[in-house]
Amino acid sequence: MALDETIKTFMDRFKLPDFSGLDWKQSTDRLRQSFYRASQSVERDAPELADISTMAVDGADGPLKGRLYTPLGAGIGPGPGIIFFHGGGFVLGDLDSHDMICRRLATGARCRVLSVHYRLAPEHPFPAAHDDAIAIWQWANRRAELLNMDPDRLCVAGDSAGGNLAAYLCQHLNRAGEPAPAFQLLLYPLVQFVDIRTKKLTFQEGFFLSEKLFDYFRDAYIHSETDRMDPRVSPLFAPDGDFRGLPPAHMVLCGWDPLKDEGHAYAAKLSAHGVPVTIREHSGMVHGFMNLTAVSVPARDAIQEAGEVVGNALGAL
């Protein structure tokens, strides 16, 4: 299917800067500024929520910024909830860049959503973000009463690098025999951090992911080449035993995404080990399209649809 015309027009007009020749600090600052501008969604028809509040969440090495979204109809007592990890290659993204995704996800699922800004590279290299993911999950379970969430009906979710954290967290908890999420929502997840140069797509130099950006993100976060195959950053390559007993999953993939094939491969591994998994592929969309709700109605609809899948899985709808 052809690339969505609205998305293509936006991407042709708004490109990430050429960061070659810049030092790490200069290039990272420019990338973050560009990503922030492109991800801002000022929408007149943004869904109304009952409450949005900020809070401090315990990370692995100190407090992190969190934001709790409570949709209309969520109810008063503890109910199902979503722990959300934002994308951005472990280098970009924050609470604001993914604010509209969380608003629409909360509305679609009719579940509270806790979004947390974990530590980013290059200031905090591997495994900082993954250590934070564990700490965030443990904190949310300890503070379920504060969050008004039922610890037995929690979903972990994330897009791109955030999907990596969600998938890793499920595997880690499974290995450790600790209480696991009831469901996982993986939005065009990064499930291996080795290479994308073998992907034969005619359109890879998109706004949110390209070969150069993939290498940039990987080298900013992972300093040792041997760590690229570590199951924490490449859960696709985890041992078979790490897939048995994982929570049911729903995966959202994109037709014009160099990560699409490995997303299908991860879903196939889940299914082969008895894990219920569903896939929704948006054939005309690119990696990161859910950040473009300001210009794309299909992106808004896709988040709503993904939220409904989670809401039905957790019994909120």
CATH code for the domain of 132: 3.40.50.1820
Walk along the chain (317 residues) and give the pLDDT tens digit of each residue: 677 877 677 666 655 555 455 555 667 888 888 777 777 666 777 899 999 999 999 999 999 999 999 999 898 889 999 999 999 999 999 999 999 999 999 999 999 999 999 999 999 999 999 999 999 999 999 999 999 999 999 999 999 999 999 999 999 999 999 999 999 999 999 999 998 764 555 444 444 677 778 888 999 999 999 999 999 999 999 999 999 999 999 999 999 898 999 999 999 999 999 999 999 999 999 999 999 998 899 999 999 999 999 999 999 99
Q: Do 11 and 4 form a contact (C-beta atoms < 8 A)?
A: no
264 is catalytic: no
CB 17 within 8 A of CB 34: yes
Tell me the whole-structure pTM to 2 decimals.
0.92
What is residue 79's three-state secondary structure? strand
301 is catalytic: no
Domain residue limits at 207:
5-314
Q: CB neighbours (10 Å) of residue 299?
A: 25
Please give the tally of structural domains in the chain.
1
Active-site entry in 41, 160, 234, 296: 160
297 to each of 200, 248, 292, how far by Cα in Å? 28, 28, 9
223 noted as active-site residue: no
